[in-house]
Amino acid sequence: MTVREALAYAAERLSSVTDEAGTEARLLLAELTGLSPSALRLSGDTLDEAAFVKLEGFIKRRLLREPLQYVLGEWYFMGLPFCVSPAALIPRQDTETLCEEALRLAAERAYASALDICTGTGCIAISLKKLAAGSISVEASDISPDALALARRNAEKNGAEIVFRLADLFEGAGSYDLITANPPYICDADMACLQEEVRFEPALALAGGHDGLDIYRRIAKEAPAHVKKGGALITEVGMGQAEAVAAMFPDNRVRIIKDPGGVDRVVAIDFRYA
C-alpha cells in the first residue's frame, strides 16, 4: 500500500467518528512517516507492514473515540510541542487567550514571578517561561502526581526551568506578581453527558461541582494572600461563567476577555489598585 492509498484508507475508516477525517488521517500518517501533512499526497513511498500495523492501531483507538491528541501523543500550544496523555487535559486553543493575556501583562508590567495552579500538562507555565519578553521565574502546582510528572516531562522537552510542586491550589505557595489558572469548571449536569472523547480526559481536571464554580470560590478566597500588590490573577472560565467569577472579586478591577470564537473565556483580576 502506498502512502497515498493509506491516506485514503485511513480517512474512509475515520469518517464514522469525525467530520475532520481527512485532516486526522494526514496527521496520523505524518506521525508514522515523518513527512509533513502537505507532502503526503505527493509521496510515492510505500507504507511498510510495520507502519501499516501501527496505523491500524491508531485507527482502532480513534474508532473507540480516544482523542486524536492522545493517539498522537503530542500536541502544540502557543507554537510549542507538548506530550499529552490521559493524565491531564489536552491543551486547547481557547486557553491560548489566557496565555496571551498573561504574556502581555508580564511584558507591560515587567513581572518577575508567576505561579500556574492546576497546571496539567504545564502548557501555560512553560509557555510563560519560554515566551515572556523578560526574565520571569515560574512555579507550577497540581494536585495530581501523574499530571505533575507529565508537566515535568514537558518542561524538560521545551528546555524550561520551572519549579513544580504537588499541591492543592495554593498549598505551600508564596507571593507572586502573576497567578494563572485553568481550573475544573464543568458542572455536574454537563459531566453526566460529556462528549465521548472528553470522557478520556481526567475527571479531576474537569469536574467543578454543582454549578462548575467550586474551585473558583476557593481561588477567590485564597488568591489575595498570594498576589503581590500590583499583580494579577488570570483564569480561564467555561461558557456563561465569566460574570459569576468576576463578581467574586468585588474589591478589584476585573476584565473579561473573549476567545477567538467570541466566547467570554478569560477573567483577569487586576490587583493594581487593591
Sign of CA dihedral 7, 196, 266, 183: negative
What's the confidence (pLDDT) of residue 5? 86
What's the confidence (pLDDT) of residue 131? 96
Sorting pLDDT into bands at 50, 70 and 90, what band is 39?
confident
Give per-residue pLDDT as tens, 40-92: 766 667 888 898 999 999 999 999 999 999 999 999 999 999 999 999 999 99
Three-class DSSP labels, 217-244: HHHHHHHHHCEEEEEEEEEECCCCCHHH
Distance CA 23, CA 45 (A): 20
Judge if pTM exceeds 0.85: yes
What's the confidence (pLDDT) of residue 42? 62
**Dihedral Cα 148, 151, 152, 156, nearest 10 deg:** 180
Distance CA 21, CA 10 (A): 8
CATH architecture of 75-273: 3-Layer(aba) Sandwich (3.40)
User: What nine digits make up the cell of 118?
Assistant: 492546576
Q: Find out whether 237 and 267 touch, Cβ atoms under 8 Å.
A: yes
What's the confidence (pLDDT) of residue 273? 55
What's the confidence (pLDDT) of residue 135? 86
What's the confidence (pLDDT) of residue 75? 96
What's the confidence (pLDDT) of residue 240? 95
What's the confidence (pLDDT) of residue 149? 98
Distance CA 150, CA 144 (A): 10
What's the confidence (pLDDT) of residue 1? 81
Cα-trace Rg, the chain: 20
Mean pLDDT check: name the lowest of 22-26, 35-39, 174-178. Answer: 35-39
Does 274 have pLDDT greater than 60? no
Give per-residue pLDDT as tens, 92-134: 999 999 999 999 999 999 999 999 999 999 999 999 999 997 7
Q: What is the largest CA-CA distance in the chain?
A: 66
Each domain of the chain, given as residue ranges in start order, spans: 3-64, 75-273
Question: What backbone phi and psi angles, to 5 degrees, belong to 138?
Answer: -130, 130
